Amino acid sequence: MQAGTIISAQDLDLYYGENQALKKITMDIPERQVTALIGPSGCGKSTFLKTLNRMNDLVPNVRIEGTITYRGQDIYMPKLDVTWLRRHVGMVFQKPNPFPMSIYDNIAYGPRTHGIRNKRQLDEIVERSLRGAAIWDEVSDRLKKPALSLSGGQQQRICIARALAVEPDVLLMDEATSALDPISTSKIEDLIAELKKQYTIVIVTHNMQQAVRISDRCAFFLLGQLVEFGETTQLFSTPKDKRTEEYITGRFG
Amino acid sequence: MEHKSLRRTVYDRTMRILIRVCAALTCLLLAFLIGYIFVNGIPNITWQLLSTEPSFRSDTIGILPNLVNTLVLILGTLLIVLPLGAGAAIYLTEYAQNRRVVAAIEFAAETLSGIPSILFGLVGMLFFTELLGWGGSIRAGIMTMVIMVLPTIIRTTQESLKSVPQSYREASLGLGSGKWHMIRTAVLPSSVDGIVTGYILAIGRILGESAALLFTAGSASILSSNLLQTINSSGGTLSVALYMYVSERGELEVGFAIAAILMFLALLLNLTAKVAGKKLKR
């Protein structure tokens, strides 16, 4: 394991029933950097992302072998408290999914879940999180309005703010901009650049330009295997593997 | 071409007229029924009718005991059905792993919710009043109603829970919620309108039930001195009293009065269901 690694996967195999979706993935994710996972549809990148905070537990018949550690802690250890893990490794989903509540209640949901009841403390967290997600200026005068009344791009930043409100360590983003228009997308990309000063970000993306623009390191997945993992600039300029080269030059995918 | 378009116009017009006639007839029938019952019933609703027990000595009829019985029966049934139905539905949609078992239970619930109520009455009579020896009592009536409305309640609650997008559950779990916390804070608030509507419609079914209650809760019209005694003794609800007064004693005026009251209550329930559905949906 390299120094500065926050999450480390060792020989990770994942099966959906009989079907093997991930094959012997070994990967060290560096702290406070943006790691992008790319690859064609069905290559396992989203599946891998979801193993990092055990969202795959929700899928019936899923079986995992190998280990993943978060700050040295085996996260698939039987006694591990999954809520503890998910609190530290937060997630932003592909489609914006705010709760049908006010903007304020959406952001306060996580802190309340973890026992914060004090109104002033919640106010402070809500403001800090909305500022952190670069949406405070747009919604500060209507915190009591339903979050679903916002535009898709705003909703996604609300979801990012909601994830930030529980003060995570790592933020997983599952194609978080694929459902958004170009302007909203560029706002979220700027935000990611800002967030990596404080958080470790792992993002799944279908958009290779996006991977180039925002990520420090990039992992190329193909058919459940990790083909290549390295510095983004290196991976896109001088890929070591022929399959990576074929993919990034648009030969398939 | 012209010929064809003419034919189409005639066809269109005829169909439109026919459909309008159907709609008008239906509305007329409903309006007639409601009007007929209110016109015949409301003049017969007197303060004495609403506030006294029936008395053979003074030859008066009062339906206060039946009103009380109806209320006790509905509240008693809800008290049991509320946690039981919600719990079962939550288990089936959120916790149960074995799809086949869930499908079997859902199928059973669906079948049971379509069975004629008198069958529930028969079972209730044989089991609660005979086997358990409770006799004809409101208690037996409550248990029978519980069994009767439970399948419907489970179905409607399940449908409401299923209508909650999976993404809410993921969002909540992703923030580190435990399962029950997720259900309580993300699933139930989004489905409470449908759940409440289901319960209100169940109340409507209890209100209108006669056969199954005649078998189990009986038809007595006596006020008891306390709640426990009310539950343990025989008592007819409004619908049962309607049947008894008209068929056993030929008291048509009283029958119409009760019918008007029932109609009014049903109207009130449906309105509540509508308003609750809207109010609870944020």
Structure tokens given for A124? 């402070």
Q: Is the pLDDT of residue B25 over 90?
A: yes
Enter the tokens of residue A134.
């670069």
Q: Are residues B282 and A101, on separate chains, in Cβ contact within 8 Å?
A: yes
Provide the pLDDT for residue A110.
Answer: 94
Chain B nearest C-alpha distance from A48 (Å): 15
Q: Which residues of B touch A97 (CB under 8 A)?
A: 165, 167-168, 170-171
pLDDT at residue number A237: 92
- Residue A64 Cα, gap to closest chain B Cα (Å): 19
Q: What percent of chain B has pLDDT over 90?
A: 51
- pLDDT of B95 > 70? The answer is yes
Q: Does residue A253 form part of some domain?
A: no
A19 phi, psi to nearest 5 deg: -90, 120
Question: How do strand A34-38 and strand A217-222 relate by DSSP bridges?
Answer: parallel
pLDDT for residue B233? 85
A249 touches chain B (CB under 8 A): no
Residue A253 reports pLDDT greater than 90: no
| Number of domain units in chain A | 1
Which of A92, A91, A70 is closest to A81 using CA atoms? A70
Contact assessment for residue B200 and residue B206, using Cβ atoms and an 8 Å cutoff = no
- CA diameter of chain A: 57
DSSP one-letter string for B44-64: G--HHHHHS--BTTTTB---H
Radius of gyration of chain A (CA): 18
> Residue B262, Cα to own-chain centre: how many angstroms?
12
Asked if pLDDT for residue B1 goes beyond 80, the answer is no
How high is the mean pLDDT of chain B? 89
pLDDT in tens, A5-23: 999 999 999 999 889 999 9
Looking at residue B35, its pLDDT comes to 93
What the block records as the tokens of B201 is: 């419609």
Answer yes or no: is pLDDT of A28 > 60: yes
Q: Is the pLDDT of residue B2 over 60?
A: no
pLDDT surpasses 80 at A2: no
Q: What backbone phi and psi angles, to 5 degrees, belong to A243?
A: -65, -35
List CB contacts (< 8 A) between B191 and chain A: none
Q: Can you give the pTM of this predicted structure?
A: 0.81
Tell me the residue range of the domain where A233 lies.
5-248
Report helix angle A152-164 to A103-113, nearest 10.
Answer: 20
Structural domain includes residue A17: yes
Please check the confidence at residue A227 and state whether its pLDDT lies above 90.
yes
Sorted by sequence, the CB contacts under 8 Å of residue A219 that are 6+ apart come out as A27, A35, A36, A37, A38, A45, A226, A228, A229
- What is residue B225's three-state secondary structure? coil
User: Buried (b) or exposed (e) across A202-215, using 16+ Cβ within 10 A?
Assistant: bbbbebbebbbbbb
Chain A residues whose beta carbon lies within 8 Å of the beta carbon of residue B98: none
Kindly report the CATH number that applies to the domain delimited by B47-279. Answer: 1.10.3720.10
Q: pLDDT digit string (tens) for B110-134?
A: 888 888 999 999 999 999 988 998 8
ipTM for the predicted complex: 0.88
User: In this complex, how many residue pairs, one in chain A and one in chain B, have their CB atoms less than 8 Å apart?
Assistant: 66
- Please compute the mean of the pLDDT values over residues A79-102 and round it to a whole number: 93
Give the model's pLDDT for residue B248.
Answer: 86
pLDDT tens digits for B46-59? 888 888 888 888 88
Would the CB atoms of A87 and B176 count as touching at under 8 Å?
Answer: yes
CATH at A147: 3.40.50.300
Helix (H, G, I), strand (E, B) or coil at B103: helix
Dihedral sign (CA B224, B228, B231, B233): negative
Cβ atoms < 10 Å from Cβ of B210: 20
Mean pLDDT of A25-35: 94
H/E segment holding residue A16: strand A5-16
* Cα Rg of chain B (Å, integer): 24
B181 contacts on A by Cβ (under 8 Å): 113
- Domain residues of chain B, as ranges? 6-44, 47-279
